[in-house]
Chains A and B, each alone.
Chain A
Amino acid sequence: MLARVFEEHGLATTSISLVREHTEKVKPPRALFVPFPFGHPLGEANDPELQTRVMGAAFALLERETGPVLEDYPEDVYAGQNINLAQANSVPRPDVSDDVAFEVTRLRPYYEQWVSANAGRTAVGVTGVEQRRFRGLVRLLEAYAEGREIEQRRAIAPVRALGSGRPQGVLPGGTPAAKAGRFVPGIERVVVERDPKLDAIAFGIAR
């Protein structure tokens, strides 16, 4: 859709398509259909050679005289591999009874190691809530999920923030930080059942 707007303004475009059917309907001028999952238009993280090949194939479409052009990226990137990318609904839920708020705190040193090893990349802070407030926010959410009284106005902004700012991490022993993940759907269910207006909160948490 954006491609069409740009072409109308005299810009030549080439794009990556992850959903062939959608691209066939929308008909952008030049699109390279790739076999990669959502979140991976250029193939794989930290694989500059693959990313470069994909870009090269997309740029090659610019040599065509007329459009629309929809081509398949020719390389069989996953030949023989068992692809097992985690999507939100496929991560198994361990049976744990630990404290979610404490898990958030326990993740902190591993999170900080990750950040310093990865040139400062972090999703924490997108919503402006400081990390030191995370444990308190989780307690607030727990209270809400269990039907205890909380001050609603206080809840809304921090609740959205927790969903976006939760650090990604792996605890020692390789167990993903699953307790927070298990806890989040509990909040979602409670909010939707009790008050449809707070759908926005559940959405924000799920983020």
Chain B
Amino acid sequence: MLNDSAPFTPLRKALSESRLALVTTAGIHLRGDTPFAGGDQSFRAIPTDTPPSDIVQSHASIGFDRTAFQRDINVVFPLDRAREFVARSEIGSLSRTCFSFMGAQRPPYDRLLQETGPEVARRLRTEGVDVVFLTGT
């Protein structure tokens, strides 16, 4: 996908007064939730206070090392680190819900761009989120 321009929302307030959400394309979700399949453009909701032992990864690609995520989810989905930023008052607060998609997508991206991506954006806005930190695999 080659883009000529980039939509841009400036952050109008200090990060210390902002609400942060984590969104990842690492294909993770709650244990027991439906796993991701290849080409899956859906998302999974992950409550921000979910314990690490309840978060699993079902990303369909075989091309990357998952052992780091197994040992420490923060290397991919830094929930603990984000909480520490809040504890140090460097970030105002965290959203109640974080979200995960699957990466390694191939075109067409219609569902992601027109349905699932905007749905997550709306939910984040509803939760008062100002900033999203995006990580891949």
A residues within 8 Å of B by Cβ? Answer: 1-18, 25-29, 37-46, 48, 51-52, 55, 58-59, 62-63, 65-68, 85-88, 118-123, 125-127, 164, 168, 203, 206-207
Contacts and interface: CB of A to CB of B under 8 A. Distances in A.
B70 A123 contact: yes
A38 B132 contact: no
A72 B31 CA distance: 35
Contacts of A122: 53, 56
Contacts of A62: 11, 15, 131
Given A25-B2, A119-B53, A5 B133 contact: no
23 contacts: A1-B117, A2-B101, A5-B113, A6-B9, A8-B121, A11-B130, A12-B131, A13-B133, A25-B2, A37-B65, A38-B137, A40-B76, A41-B135, A41-B136, A41-B137, A45-B69, A55-B78, A59-B90, A86-B65, A87-B64, A118-B70, A121-B52, A123-B57
Interface in B7-22: 7-11, 15
A126 B63 contact: no
Interface in B82-99: 82, 84-85, 90-91
A175 to B, nearest CB: 16
A14 B134 contact: yes
B64 A8 contact: no
Contacts of A88: 62-63
Interface residues of B, number: 67
B74 A51 contact: yes
A48 B131 contact: no
A4 B121 CA distance: 10
A59 B86 CA distance: 13
Contact of A42 (B74, B120, B129): B74
Most buried by B among A6, A44, A68: A6
User: Which of B35, B57, B68, B109 is most buried by chain A, counting CB atoms within 10 A of its CB?
Assistant: B68
